């Protein structure tokens, strides 16, 4: 096992990390803004149950978007049985379902579901728990489902440079179910293929079957 050099691989750029230093004064000011918005929407902030709601909401919002802060534990990979051999092939590794929750950047309402990641290792593999960490790194942000998959795949490719990567996401979007059309039934599905998955239909079928998808 070894730690990747974040500067050498520019992983910090791929992860699209952002500084989020919020001072105590800013927190108090933001709480005041939130209180005004909630009161205008009809919430009575004068009760023992709601007087701390603006503060709790702000703290919850910062917590649910902590993916911008990064995760240093992602930068650990392991050798495989391939020792620099360019034609070495290992079977695909598939992990999922990985639950995730994200905030839609259009309405700041949650979308949530499951992620599946498949990859064909070359010189390195990654601990299974790191796949969950990778999904949540990008899910805990303001985002859209299409970009979420792209960011996961791009970062995973930069970390391991495997022979191939597959990504399958399925999610419910509360911006559709709670407002607008208010349609509760749809499940949005997205897929991404890199490397050998792009050229092998049998690999894609094997991956989707393991995901339980009917696509």
**pLDDT tens for each residue of 200-213:** 999 999 999 999 98
The CA–CA distances, whole Å, from 37 to 45, 48, 76, 127 equal 11, 19, 43, 44
pLDDT, position 9: 47
pLDDT at residue 80 is higher than 80: no
pLDDT, position 8: 44
pLDDT, position 84: 58
Q: What is the DSSP letter of 200?
A: -
Mean of the pLDDT values across residues 80-93?
Answer: 67
pLDDT at residue 18 is higher than 90: no
pLDDT, position 2: 39
- Tell me the C-alpha distance between 58 and 67, whole Å: 16
Answer whether 137's CB lies under 8 Å from 67's CB.
yes
Mean pLDDT of the chain: 88
Choice among 95-99, 116-120, 156-160, 170-174 with the minimum mean pLDDT: 156-160
Where does the pLDDT of residue 25 fall: very low under 50, low under 70, confident under 90, or very high at 90 and above?
very high
pLDDT, position 6: 44
Where does the pLDDT of residue 123 fall: very low under 50, low under 70, confident under 90, or very high at 90 and above?
confident
69-85 exposure pattern, b = at least 16 Cβ within 10 A, e = fewer: ebbeebbebeeeebeee
pTM of the full structure: 0.86
> At 137, is the secondary structure helix, strand, or coil?
helix
pLDDT, position 89: 64
The structural domains of the chain, ordered by start, are 24-64 (no CATH), 74-211 (3.30.1130.10)
Q: What is the pLDDT of residues 126-140, one digit of tens each?
A: 888 999 999 999 999
Answer whether 107's CB lies under 8 Å from 68's CB.
no
Burial of 182 (0-12, 13-18, 19+ CB in 10 A): exposed
pLDDT, position 15: 81
Answer whether 27's CB lies under 8 Å from 58's CB.
yes
């Amino acid at each position: 096992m070894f730690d990747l050099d974040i500067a050498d691989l520019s992983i910090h750029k791929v992860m699209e990390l952002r500084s989020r230093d919020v001072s105590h004064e800013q927190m108090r000011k933001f709480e005041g803004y939130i209180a005004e918005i909630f009161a205008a929407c009809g919430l009575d902030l004068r009760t023992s149950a709601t007087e701390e709601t603006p503060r709790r909401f702000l703290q919850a919002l910062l917590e649910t978007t902590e993916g911008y802060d990064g995760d240093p534990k992602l930068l650990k990979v392991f050798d495989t049985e391939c020792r620099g051999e360019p034609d070495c092939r290992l079977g695909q590794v598939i992990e999922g379902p990985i639950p995730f929750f994200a905030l839609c950047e259009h309405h700041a309402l949650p979308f949530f579901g499951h992620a599946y990641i498949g990859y064909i290792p070359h010189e390195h593999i990654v601990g299974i728990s790191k796949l969950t960490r990778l999904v949540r790194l990008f899910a805990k942000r303001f985002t859209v489902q299409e970009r979420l998959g792209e960011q996961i795949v791009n970062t995973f490719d930069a970390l391991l440079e495997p022979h191939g990567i597959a990504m399958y996401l399925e999610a419910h979007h509360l911006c559709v179910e709670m407002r607008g059309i208010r349609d509760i039934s749809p499940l949005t599905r997205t897929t991404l293929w890199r490397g050998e998955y792009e050229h092998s239909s049998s690999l894609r079928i094997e991956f989707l079957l393991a995901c339980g998808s009917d696509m």
